[in-house]
């Protein structure tokens, strides 16, 4: 019987790219657990409703060997009346652990969890983040992911479920949401950017590279029990990153020499300090254990990955 992989979050940014990578492996059947199934006739789509502590996965987990859990709650409305940590926990912590327990009961062998580099913190100082660093989640989203990690390790100890944790840096690529999506719009529309004096050091990961890494984590015999900090392996400044983006989009931009201190002041005055830090601060990761354990290197360079942005304009 062919091996079966269950994917959550298959309609999201990472999930859609992961489906492409998984379907290249003819020896795996790929099943998707979705909130609402648009195509009811697709036998590999399973409607499970909202993700929480009560979601029933028993049907979709039947004859499943591997779970790759990408689905998560990434945002909470600013006007929400319930505290954000509780909302993040309901999906990212309790929902994840509910799925993992049911997976273990169903005889699933491996559980790959897409966490967040935010578990390590918001920025680095002199040394890159590594698996040796003590976690320091910088917001409620990251805290909910870290609590899920802890719970998964406990389930692994109790049941023998093989858990693999991946903490990606900022994921970029065609149609990416969040800050990368915002930057893409700026580069498309503006001929000038304010990053001329930025010499910070940040790591990123192309969605194609992350998808390939997740497939490797799902299938490599030595991945079990490890936590990986995922990046392209190319450390760049925000100036270099946006220049690469512009080249990929076929645009020309001028980088204005705006002092970084001034940009931080603007961020403080406008209440956008966190966003400014994500642009101008440092965030380096030591991904060396991925190569050591899995023998994995990024199949796409940053330039190659950025070149696919132009296709999304068509």
Active site residues: 141
| CA separation, residue 67 to residues 3, 57, 244, 310 (Å) | 11, 11, 34, 32
Alpha carbons 267 and 272: distance in angstroms, whole number: 4
Task: Report the residue count for the chain.
Answer: 314
SS3 211: helix
Tokens of 256: 């204005």
Using alpha carbons only, what angle is made at residue 120 by residues 223 and 222, rounded to the nearest 5 degrees? 5
- With a CB cutoff of 8 Å and minimum separation 6, the contacts of 149 are 113, 115, 119, 165, 227
The secondary structure of the chain in percent helix, strand, coil, rounded to multiples of 5, reads 40, 15, 40
Tell me 85's DSSP state. H
Helical residues (DSSP H) of 63-160, grouped into ranges: 84-88, 94-105, 140-159
User: Of 135, 134, 136, 51, whose CA–CA distance to 100 is shortest?
Assistant: 51
CA atoms within 13 A on the CB side of 88: 18
Kindly report the number of other CB atoms within 10 A of residue 136's CB atom: 14
Alpha carbons 41 and 290: distance in angstroms, whole number: 39
């Amino acid at each position: 019987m062919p091996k079966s992989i269950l994917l959550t979050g298959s309609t999201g940014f990472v999930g859609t790219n992961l489906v492409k990578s998984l379907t290249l492996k003819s020896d795996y059947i790929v099943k998707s657990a979705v909130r609402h199934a648009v195509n009811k006739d697709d036998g590999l789509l399973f409607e499970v409703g909202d993700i929480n502590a009560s979601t029933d996965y028993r049907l979709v987990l039947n004859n499943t060997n591997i779970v790759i859990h990408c689905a998560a709650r990434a945002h909470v409305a600013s006007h929400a009346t319930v505290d954000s940590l509780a909302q993040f926990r309901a999906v990212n912590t309790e929902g994840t652990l509910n799925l993992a327990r049911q997976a273990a009961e169903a005889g699933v062998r491996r559980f790959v969890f897409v966490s967040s580099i935010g578990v390590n913190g918001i920025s680095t100082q002199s040394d890159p983040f590594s698996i040796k660093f003590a976690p320091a989640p910088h917001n409620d989203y990251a805290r909910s992911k870290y609590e899920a990690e802890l719970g998964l390790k406990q389930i692994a100890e109790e049941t023998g479920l093989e858990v693999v944790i991946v903490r990606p840096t900022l994921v970029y690529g065609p149609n990416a949401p969040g800050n990368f999506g915002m930057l893409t719009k700026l580069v498309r529309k503006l001929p000038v950017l304010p990053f001329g004096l930025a010499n910070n050091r940040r790591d990123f990961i192309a969605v194609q590279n992350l998808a390939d890494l997740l497939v490797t984590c799902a299938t490599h015999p030595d991945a079990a029990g490890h936590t990986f900090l995922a990046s392209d392996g190319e450390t760049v400044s925000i100036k270099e990153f946006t220049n690469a983006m512009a080249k990929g989009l076929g645009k020309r931009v001028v980088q204005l020499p705006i002092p970084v201190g001034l940009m931080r002041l603007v961020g403080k005055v406008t209440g956008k300090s966190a966003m400014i830090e994500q642009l101008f601060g440092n965030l380096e990761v030591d991904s060396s254990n991925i190569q050591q354990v899995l023998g994995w290197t990024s199949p796409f360079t940053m330039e190659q990955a950025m070149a696919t942005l132009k296709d999304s304009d068509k």
